[in-house]
């Protein structure tokens, strides 16, 4: 695994890159941003399977699984399942942190910051008051579709301020 350089150049992360379907990925992101979390999970799970599913270390599979777990966590939140929301959202950090700041057009840095803020609020409310969670705290994935069409999480990373990738 490598990180993006200051200029936004990208370096190879894994030699195990599987094919990526940018249209399916974009659809999954649109579903997430529309609060269609179950549908997002299903859409991205197909891509995750194409990458070889469970990965060791920083593989493309972990990138997709991180977004899948975020979607599942917010699905549980909307269903007032405290334990499911906390467990799934907490696990996104382990899976997505290696892909900071941007991977496959996704502003991972911002997504993780937003998930952290949500998680803190969920834990503050606790299971008894989870229904009081302010829906405006559910993040929107900042996504640069043009950058995603040119990269996979195993080969390219871009700079969110320049849109390079």
**What structural domains does the chain harbor?**
22-149 (1.10.3450.10)
Digit-coded pLDDT (tens) for 52-108: 766 566 678 899 999 999 999 999 999 999 999 999 999 999 999 999 999 988 999
Find all residues with CB under 8 Å of 49, minimum gap 6, and list them. Answer: none
Q: Residue with structure tokens 């399977």?
A: 49
CB burial string 142-165: b at 16+ within 10 A, e below: bbbeebbeebbbbbbbbbbeeebb
Other beta carbons within 10 Å of 118: 21
Does residue 144 or residue 41 have the better pLDDT? 41
- Closest alpha carbon to 110 in 135, 143, 84: 143
pTM for the full predicted model: 0.77
Question: What value does the mean pLDDT of the chain take?
Answer: 80
Give the separation between CA 154 and CA 165, rounded to whole angstroms. Answer: 12
Alpha-carbon gap, residue 18 to 82, rounded angstroms: 34
Q: Write out the two tokens for 25.
A: 């990925």
139, two tokens: 């993040």
DSSP letter for each residue of 20-51: --HHHHHHHHHHHHTT-HHHHHHHHHHHHHHT
Answer yes or no: is pLDDT of 161 > 80: no
pLDDT band at 140 (very low <50, low <70, confident <90, very high): very high
Q: How many residues does the chain have?
A: 165
> Angle at Cα 77 formed by Cα 74 and Cα 78, nearest 5°?
90
Under the banding of pLDDT at 50, 70 and 90, the label for residue 44 is: very high
């Amino acid at each position: 695994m490598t990180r993006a350089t200051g200029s936004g150049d990208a370096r190879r992360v894994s030699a195990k890159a599987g094919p990526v379907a940018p249209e399916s990925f974009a659809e999954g992101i649109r579903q997430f941003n529309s609060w269609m979390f179950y549908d997002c999970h299903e859409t991205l799970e197909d891509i995750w399977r194409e990458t070889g599913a469970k990965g060791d270390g920083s593989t493309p599979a972990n990138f997709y699984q991180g977004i899948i777990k975020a979607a599942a966590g917010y699905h549980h939140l909307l269903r007032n399942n405290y334990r499911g929301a906390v467990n799934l959202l907490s696990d996104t950090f382990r899976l997505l942190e290696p892909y900071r700041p941007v991977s496959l057009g996704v502003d991972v840095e911002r997504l993780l910051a937003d998930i952290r803020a949500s998680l803190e609020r969920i834990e503050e409310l606790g299971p008894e008051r989870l229904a009081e969670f302010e829906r405006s705290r559910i993040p929107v994935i900042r996504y640069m579709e043009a950058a995603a069409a040119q990269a996979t999480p195993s080969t390219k990373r871009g700079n969110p301020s320049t849109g390079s990738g």
